[in-house]
Amino acid sequence: PSNLQYVLIVPSVLQSISPQRLCVQLYNLSEPLSLNVHLEYHGINTTLFEESVTENNFFQCREFKASLATSDPLAFIIFSAKGHTVHLSERRSVAIQNVDSVVFIQTDKPIYKPGQTGEWGQGYELIIELGVWMSGGRRARMEYHC
């Protein structure tokens, strides 16, 4: 009997579009294995990891990106390792969470009231108006919606 042990590390909540990291470690491998890890979401399988492993001890990480989630965030990570006598498989649930981009603005004072102005950077002025942040100056404007 094989004393093969494995560790699969993947976040339980995948942030959509952001790089995610998946790591696989195998111990005490006694025969070559075909190693596969897939992300299953709405019936579509995406290969995250596919490797032929021959070393006795194996460790490798890969980066991947999960697609945008629809109304149902439930997805599955499917792990399989197959050889002549070894057949391991596991299917675990994960969630995909959409992440909005976030803009952080640091100012010269902690609180600005609507309509107040202040200095920002090299000759730029910070103007805050009812939930819309605008930096203006030198005929350039950038808007950040909060």
- The model's pLDDT over 86-115, given as tens digits with 9 standing for 90+, comes to 999 999 999 999 877 555 666 666 666 666
63 DSSP β-pair partners:
21
Q: Please enumerate in sequence order all residues whose Cβ is within 8 A of that of 110, keeping only pairs 6 or more positions apart, or say none.
A: none
pLDDT at 105: 63
pLDDT at 92: 94
* Of 125 and 27, the one with more pLDDT: 27
Q: Are 34 and 83 in contact (CB under 8 A)?
A: yes
Which of 14, 9, 12, 78 has the alpha carbon at shortest distance from 43?
78
* pTM of the shown model: 0.65
pLDDT at 17: 81
pLDDT at 113: 64
- 9-26: pLDDT as tens digits: 999 999 888 899 999 999
pLDDT at 52: 95
CATH code, residues 5-97: 2.60.40.1930
Which of 62, 49, 66 has the alpha carbon at shortest distance from 15?
66
pLDDT at 125: 55
* pLDDT score of 82 more than 90: yes
* pLDDT score of 128 more than 80: no
- For 29-38, b where at least 16 C-beta lie within 10 A, e where not — what string? beeebebbbb
Domain ranges of the chain: 5-97, 102-146
Summary mean pLDDT of the chain: 78
